[in-house]
Structure 1
Amino acid sequence: MTQNTGWGGPGGGWGGTPPWGGWAPAPAPQPGVIPLRPLALGEILGGAFSTIRRHWKQLVGVMLAVQAVVLPVMALEVGAAVAAVYRHIEPVFDPPFGTEPTAEHVVPLVVAGGTLFVLLLVTGGLGLAVLTALCPAVLKEAVMGRPTTFRAMWRTALRRTPAAAGTMLLTVLIAGSPMLAVIAVSLPLMFSAASGDITPAMLALLPLVLLLAAPVTVWLSTRLALAPAALLMEGVGPVTALRRSAKLVRGQWWRIFGITMLAGMIAGAIAYLIQLPFNLIGMFTVIPAAADQTEGSGPTSGMITALVVAFLAVLVGGVVSQMFQIGFTQLVSGVLYVDQRIRHEGLADAILAELASTAPTAGPAPAAPPTPPQPEAPTDT
């Protein structure tokens, strides 16, 4: 039994090849970036690119707004952590000759490092959750061929950010559970081997266990890959979104895995090409300044300026390439979700019905012209 949740409902799908010699069916409707029928590989990738091309202002606008909040917050967290343990840095990393760092200085650095790691992880995860909610929201409008605005997408993404963060956390815990189990077992074994309680030969079993756990992690990750799209397009909670993803991927695991991997490689290659010019700008800015630097002298103002320009260039390139990489992979996952629902749940009919119900209706019929007054009949006096 198919499940009628959120965007669309069960029913017949589109597509299919006519028998040899038969008549060809009419082409499937295409109100937006993809035709409403089962999609081929090129159409899935093309749908993601078309969404970026048509709605790049909304995508880039929200992504830049997220980066404008996340990066300064991360910088403040790093600055606060360094300021809190500044007096312990030199005794640990540059102790006097012949002495070892004491626990008085090592412990604060370890605590500050662990706290900073957690804070950066939470901050970055919340920013990624906004982008995870944004891409399916934009894709839904792109599939239906409807215009959208920055404000609408910003509000939608923020409203679904807690649910997206919950979905991401559950996905990491479920898909990463085999690897987490290996780490939980390996750390005590490594400490025991270092103290001599067990032989180091027992550690040779860890790579074998790791090889067994990695395929399970990949399998679970692919099963849950469509959860972000289900979360936003159907308006469900994190647990239901994970279940919906597992149901939609069932029987199509290798196809989903292959397309997802291909999309990741394409996104990585394009992100590298985006970042390369910025890296070259930074390199060619620093090299002349370094050549003019006198040996043994302190950094000149020109060198400091070149380093700042190089850092900003690399930072901008990294931000732009990261935004494209995240956006493209999320859009491909969203198109795969739409494709799976078209194939198995008749989403095409639901989309057409929703478009028909929201189409502007004709205005009221014009009123009939007034009837001219009739002359009065003469009366006998």
Structure 2
Amino acid sequence: MNDTPGWASPGSAPSDGHEPGTSDPADQQGRQSDGQGVKWSKDQPPAGQWSAPTGAQVPGQAQPPSTGQGWGGTPPTGPAGGWGAGQGGYGGPGGPGPYGGGWGSGWGGPPPAAKPGVIPLRPLGVGEILDGAVSTMRTHWRTVLGISLTVAVVTQVVVILLQGLVLDDASRTMDLDDPNASSQEVFRAMGNALLGLGAVSLIALIGTVVATALLTTVTSRAVLGKPVTTGEAWRDARPQLPKLFGLILLLLAIVFGLVLIGAVPGIIVAVSGWGDAGAALIGLGCLAGAALALWLMIRFSLASPTLMLEKQGIGTSMRRSAKLVRGSWWRVFGIQLLATIIANLVSSLVVLPFSVIGALAADGGFVGLLDESSGLGWTFLIVSGIGSVIGSMITFPITAGVTVLLYVDQRIRREGLDLELARAAGVQGYGAEAGAGG
């Protein structure tokens, strides 16, 4: 672990088994044993005196002074690591352990975790993950908005030119609504429509991948409280971009492949002459394939930040993501879904007014826009494109930031990444306190 955005892989730190900071009771027994079992002290308390002390003097022991705090006074100082050790245990009065003054200091509760950047270095809640993504936008707004604006403008310019010069031929798709069109014309029109949709989707995918790669670097620096420029983000993300494209394309192929495989039995039945049964089976098969694809996509949803920050390959990143998500599928799914809904809702509120203005400013207004014999028009494409650029400036940072912070949260929970982050951020004494408290 270092202070660069490229976080090293955890090495021997497991994602399952014993969690960091825990110990095996058998190990504790072994540490207490000298080969002949645990030796009990010869001086034992008299029988029947196991209740809390009420001021009676026990023979052979000095009565500790009462402080009036906690449940009847400060516990006596014991060996290192005991309740009264004051060396990171759970009862050291005023000790430097992870929970401050311990039980004898008046139920003060744990101190706040170190927060060198946009999130505290501990397991995160849903609100803290969303707030961390927004705080990254607010703290590093020049870099974040610069990246989002550049990618969104380039993407929308290409899409507008493609729609206005290549895909805006209304005669190519009018045959879909023509009842007198031949089957050959209908298939040609469907092919043109799918080709146009695929071209626009591919351009949007390229822009999303580039923005995600750059914003992943920015968010990783924001966690450490370190600034990063657009040039630094580009230099760090550029070597991993081909792998990130390969990862995204592989995940898309998995989704479409599963849906297609689910539809194959229904297609076979429909071709055999059972049209209605085949159509119903196609629908059920597509739903089953989509459900399986969704389950896999959540398992692999942390592969992108793993690939970018750990500098891993495609296959290794997917396995790491599945390991980090194991046992937390519903939590990861819920946070990703909530972030997507919020980002798309905010984006829609921005894009919709521009689309209305573009439709009103276009030739013929709404009526002309709904007329399939005419194209969309440059006015509508440009005005609505401006709204799409502004919407992308909001959605890119939120979705990328939430994914990166989810990755950080899962590694903190499973692999103790907060210790590495604290050292990289220069937090003094964080590892020593955590180790004493464990």
TM-score range, shorter chain: 0.7 to 0.9
1:342: which partner in 2? 412
**Could you list the per-position Cα deviations for residues 12-69 of structure 1 after superposition, in whole angstroms to 9, with x for gaps in the alignment?**
4998998796553332111100000011111111101101111222222222322343
Q: CA RMSD in A?
A: 4.0
Counterparts in 2 of 1:22 and 1:312: CA distance versus 1, 3 Å? same
Find 1:282's aligned residue among 325, 346, 358: 358
2:113–2:121: 8 Å Cα contact kept in structure 1? yes
Residue correspondences, number: 331
In the alignment, the residues of structure 1 paired with residue 325 and residue 218 of structure 2 have an alpha-carbon distance, to the nearest angstrom, of 22
1:264: which partner in 2? 340
In the alignment, the residues of structure 1 paired with residue 173 and residue 121 of structure 2 have an alpha-carbon distance, to the nearest angstrom, of 63
Structure with more relative contact order (C-alpha pairs < 8 Å, separation 6 or more) = 1
Structure 1: which amino acid aligns with 2:383?
A
1:354: which partner in 2? 424
- SS of 2:254's equivalent in the other structure is helix
1:152: which partner in 2? 232
Higher fraction of helix: 1
Counterparts in 2 of 1:116 and 1:204: CA distance versus 1, 3 Å? closer
Counterparts in 2 of 1:29 and 1:8: CA distance versus 1, 3 Å? farther
CA apart distance, 1:286: 5.7
Question: Unmatched 5+ residue regions in structure 2?
Answer: 1-6, 14-19, 23-96, 369-373, 428-438
- Is 1:35 paired with 2:115? no
CA apart distance, 1:187: 4.1
1:6: which partner in 2? 8
Q: Which moved more, 1:150-159 or 1:27-36?
A: 150-159
Structure 1: which amino acid aligns with 2:415?
E
1:215: which partner in 2? 291
- Is 1:228 paired with 2:230? no
1:56: which partner in 2? 141
In the alignment, the residues of structure 2 paired with residue 78 and residue 44 of structure 1 have an alpha-carbon distance, to the nearest angstrom, of 37
2:167–2:196: 8 Å Cα contact kept in structure 1? no
1:62–1:154: 8 Å Cα contact kept in structure 2? no
Structure 2: which amino acid aligns with 1:269?
L
Report percent identity of matched pairs: 34
Counterparts in 2 of 1:252 and 1:92: CA distance versus 1, 3 Å? closer
Counterparts in 2 of 1:65 and 1:188: CA distance versus 1, 3 Å? farther
CA apart distance, 1:93: 8.3
1:182: which partner in 2? 262
Counterparts in 2 of 1:161 and 1:308: CA distance versus 1, 3 Å? same
Give the TM-score of the pair, scaled to structure 2. Answer: 0.64
After TM superposition, the structure 1 = structure 2 runs for residues 1-381 of structure 1, keeping only pairs within 5 Å, are 6=8, 10=13, 11-12=20-21, 24-78=109-163, 81=166, 116-190=196-270, 192=271, 197-282=273-358, 285=361, 309-356=379-426
1:275–1:320: 8 Å Cα contact kept in structure 2? yes
Give the TM-score of the pair, scaled to structure 1. Answer: 0.72
Counterparts in 2 of 1:54 and 1:184: CA distance versus 1, 3 Å? farther
Question: Unmatched 5+ residue regions in structure 1?
Answer: 294-298, 300-306, 358-381
Structure 2: which amino acid aligns with 1:62?
I
CA apart distance, 1:128: 1.8
